[in-house]
Structure 1
Amino acid sequence: MSNTAIPTGLPAKVGVLGGGRMGAGIAHSFLIKGADVLVVERDEQSAEAARERVESAVAKSIERGVVDANLDDMASRLAVGVDYDAFTDRQLVVEAVPENWDLKVTSLRRIEERLAPDAFLASNTSSLTVNGLAKELTRPGNFLGLHFFNPVPASTLIEVVLGNQTSPELAAEAKRWAAALGKTAVVVNDAPGFASSRLGVVIALEAMRMVEEGVASAEDIDNAMVLGYKHPTGPLRTTDIVGLDVRLGIAEYLQSTLGDRFTPPQILRDKVARGELGRKAGTGFFDWS
């Protein structure tokens, strides 16, 4: 049997929409803390891939001694599927689909239709307006942004993004969830790029321009930030981890809302066009092969 008890403040039943790297990481984080977790994907193949992704990560956590638990017990509390109706009994559902406005709106509406009136809904958006998404829902008071960071299990940060209509109860609950997951909540009011993406992207875009202008190599620019400013990874390596396509999408959105200082440099557009998307593609600003 598992020795994992659910920490005070953590929902017992959690849903995650999307089982990619981010969604699987969110599911993993709740699962190892004792929650019953459901991951819903677009088709059976993607759902089974999500199961394998989560179970593999959990197995590594057990091997490393991060959690004292039995893998079979963990697996018994993980469900995957393709039916949104399975979210009906969830106390919290976190949407973790790609950073596309129409996709997020459609997904959030479909989830909300199935949730109990007192259940909470969150988006893992890294830049899209929480207030704008809330306007598309019928219970905006039960909605907020929960911005997790890769790799989710190892990251100690959750950016809690409050919309104008987010209830005080939910704002307080979100801080408790973060603490129960062993993370620190940074609470921000909804604004383009929030705090983390806005700062992280502007640094990364300038680093890209420096590479483009031949100021220094990607490795030396990153080392300057790691050694000089104590960044755990430099802005370009972080971009590779996040995905160059993801960074481009965020930059374009921030340019449209905050102005030309977020204009994506041509080197970023060119790399995305060539499929050099970072770690997931094997190459970006660095070679990951």
Structure 2
Amino acid sequence: MTDIERVGVIGCGLMGAGIAEVCARAGLPVTVVERDAQAARSGRLRVTRSLDRAAAHGRIDAGAREAAAALITVTDQLEALHDRDLVVEAVAEDERLKLDVFTRLDPVVTGEHTVLATNTSSIPVIRLATATSRPERVVGVHFFNPVPVLRLVELVPSLLTSPTTTARAQTFVTGTLGKEVVRTRDKAGFVVNALLVPYLLAAVRMVESGSASVEDIDRGMVLGCAHPLGPLALTDLIGLDTTRAIAESLYTEFREPQYAPPPLLSRMVEAGLLGRKSGRGFHTYDER
């Protein structure tokens, strides 16, 4: 187990809600902060629906579902995080937004040993850590969507993260949450996205050039390579806006053509075709 007993999460979208859920299912009280009261209500509903699905599919029983729900508080007050042992930032993959969160969080969390974590999937952790007065206690803890289902977490210490912070974060992820950790250096994209995103972008370029249809590209990778999802369906699941943001972060750091977002991806984001979250991306989804 770990000395982390009270958890805070900033952001209650898909990732934040998932992180809050797995922490509550591990028996920890969780305070989630959203930008306003309406977003807090929506976030609470997102967590509740996910717990309902888990119970309906037999992954947890009714008692565990009720216990987890009772441990989660969703608010729009950042000050509610003042007594947390661990705070995980899980807002949108936008560097300016994340920097603002860490700048505002720094004076709020007063605990001498509180770990500040970011769920960023591509932004170098050191950039966020230096927005605080305690960069030695900032670490990357990157979960994967859907958080309650996927077991992997990338652990990303920056050049200034203390060994104690890294060890506490790893013990929490493995001992308390029961997930698997891979450690990676603090480089844009880390391990998974540095490998995955060029593959997704290559599929987008195939559509853009007319080499093959969306359906045939996805079918080819599912049937030919035994992938559970084709690359374009996976891009829809991740979100086209998130995929573009990760690609831009990778391209900014490495300046390699394979990381450059294709024009088609950018046009679709500008049109609001974001994938599953908007009901339409490379595929169309039932709003239900």
Q: Give the corresponding residue for 1:229.
A: 225
Q: Could you say what secondary structure the match of 1:250 adopts?
A: helix
Say yes or no: does 1:261 pair with 2:258: yes
Provide, for residues 212-249 of structure 1, a one-character-per-residue CA deviation record: whole Å limited to 9, x for no partner: 12222222222333333333222211110111111112
Alignment of 1:75-90 (within 5 A): 75-90=69-84
Letter of the structure 1 residue corresponding to residue 29 of structure 2: D
Q: Give the corresponding residue for 2:211.
A: 215
Question: Any conservation in 1 of the 2:26–2:177 contact (CA below 8 Å)?
Answer: yes
Q: 2:9 aligns with which of 7, 16, 33?
A: 16
Gaps of 5+ in 1: 1-7
Distance 1:104 1:120 in 2: 16
Question: Any conservation in 1 of the 2:21–2:68 contact (CA below 8 Å)?
Answer: no
Distance 2:173 2:68 in 1: 20
Letter of the structure 2 residue corresponding to residue 18 of structure 1: G
Letter of the structure 2 residue corresponding to residue 185 of structure 1: V
Distance 1:226 1:175 in 2: 33
| TM-score, structure 1 normalization | 0.92
Distance 1:38 1:88 in 2: 10
Q: 1:110 aligns with which of 104, 110, 121?
A: 104
Letter of the structure 2 residue corresponding to residue 226 of structure 1: V
Q: Give the corresponding residue for 1:148.
A: 143
Gaps of 5+ in 2: none
Task: Give the ranges of 4+ consecutive aligned residues of structure 1 lying more than 4 Å apart after TM superposition.
Answer: none
Number of aligned positions between the proteins: 282
Letter of the structure 2 residue corresponding to residue 51 of structure 1: R
Distance 1:37 1:203 in 2: 36
Provide, for residues 28-47 of structure 1, a one-character-per-residue CA deviation record: whole Å limited to 9, x for no partner: 11111111011111111111
Q: Could you say what secondary structure the match of 1:122 adopts?
A: strand
Question: Any conservation in 2 of the 1:10–1:35 contact (CA below 8 Å)?
Answer: no
Q: Could you say what secondary structure the match of 2:104 adopts?
A: helix
Q: Could you say what secondary structure the match of 2:221 adopts?
A: helix
| TM-score, structure 2 normalization | 0.93
Distance 2:230 2:168 in 1: 33
Question: Any conservation in 1 of the 2:25–2:64 contact (CA below 8 Å)?
Answer: no
Distance 1:202 1:257 in 2: 14
Q: Could you say what secondary structure the match of 2:187 adopts?
A: coil
Question: Any conservation in 2 of the 1:244–1:276 contact (CA below 8 Å)?
Answer: yes
Q: Identity of aligned pairs, percent? A: 42
Pairwise CA RMSD: 1.6
Q: Give the corresponding residue for 2:172.
A: 177
